[in-house]
């Protein structure tokens, strides 16, 4: 696991440098894909770099990315690449985008180069935050009451949580795994497997829980409050509980 983690950190670090150069230069060149989502030349350049570096280091592994056709491997292992997660933030000049790389269900690295922060986690080895040369262990909060809980909401179907404090969600995953918020809910946000590639490993290795409540409703919490928030979501008509994790 540590060998894979070092590889993922190295590759994500190099890819993040490419993304950051384009971000600072304002070279976006946005176009719309068939599904209506935005893509930039930087997305393609970053993904191509990650694919090339993975092919050199682990040629038998499969690679699936958001912008290029999947390469099927022979090892049974599969890497997931979201070259620029948060493209809308990227093209709007907001520094909260990330470069995400995951070994499916095993490890996750999410680099936020404009903020100088990288989140990294692996099954059984915990979750860490790197801020330049500083490294810290990531842990979720210990809050055990829904009343007053700090929540980040994303998507078009945001639930009404009058007993909670809704806070800015621009760095919601980082805030959850460092204990600054207690729950993150995405409802109607149109998340795909690449958007979700890093979330379960990061959150669960920091002590939290993740549940896909339905196709486009995802709940991530500090774990202690998970069942209580899940009950609030399930109480909404048409929403049924899903499978914990991914």
Q: Which residues are annotated as a binding site?
A: 66, 82, 84, 195
Q: Binding site membership for Mg(2+): which residues?
A: 66, 82, 84, 195
Record the tokens describing residue 167, joined without a space.
């806070």
Rounded-to-integer distance, Cα 130 and Cα 98, Å: 14
Rounded-to-integer distance, Cα 190 and Cα 54, Å: 28
Give the DSSP H/E element, type plus range, for residue 57: helix 41-57
Q: Which of 200, 196, 190, 201 is nearest to 88 (CA)?
A: 190
Using CB atoms within 10 Å of the CB of residue 245, give its burial: 0 to 12 exposed, 13 to 18 middle, 19+ buried: middle
State how beta strands 183-187 and 150-154 pair. parallel
């Amino acid at each position: 696991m540590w060998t894979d983690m070092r590889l993922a950190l190295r590759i994500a670090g190099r890819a993040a440098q490419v993304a950051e150069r384009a971000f600072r230069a304002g070279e976006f060149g946005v176009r719309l894909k068939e599904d209506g989502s935005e893509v930039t030349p930087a997305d393609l350049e970053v993904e191509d770099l990650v694919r090339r570096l993975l092919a050199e280091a682990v040629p038998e592994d499969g690679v699936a990315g958001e912008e290029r056709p999947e390469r099927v491997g022979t090892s049974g292992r599969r890497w997931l690449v979201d070259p620029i997660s948060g493209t809308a933030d990227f093209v709007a000049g907001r520094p909260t985008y990330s470069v995400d790389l995951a070994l499916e269900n095993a490890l996750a690295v999410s680099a936020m180069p404009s903020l100088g922060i990288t989140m990294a986690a692996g099954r059984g080895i915990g979750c860490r935050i790197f801020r330049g040369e500083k490294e810290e262990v990531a842990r979720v909060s210990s809050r055990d009451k829904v009343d007053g809980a700090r929540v980040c909401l994303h998507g078009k179907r945001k639930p009404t949580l009058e007993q909670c404090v809704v806070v800015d969600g621009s760095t919601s995953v980082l805030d959850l795994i460092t204990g600054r918020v207690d729950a993150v809910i995405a409802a109607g946000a149109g998340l795909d497997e690449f958007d979700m590639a890093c979330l379960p490993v990061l959150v669960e290795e920091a002590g939290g829980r993740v549940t896909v409540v339905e196709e486009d409703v995802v709940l991530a919490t500090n774990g202690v409050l998970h069942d209580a928030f899940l009950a609030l979501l399930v109480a909404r008509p048409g929403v049924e509980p899903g499978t914990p994790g991914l």
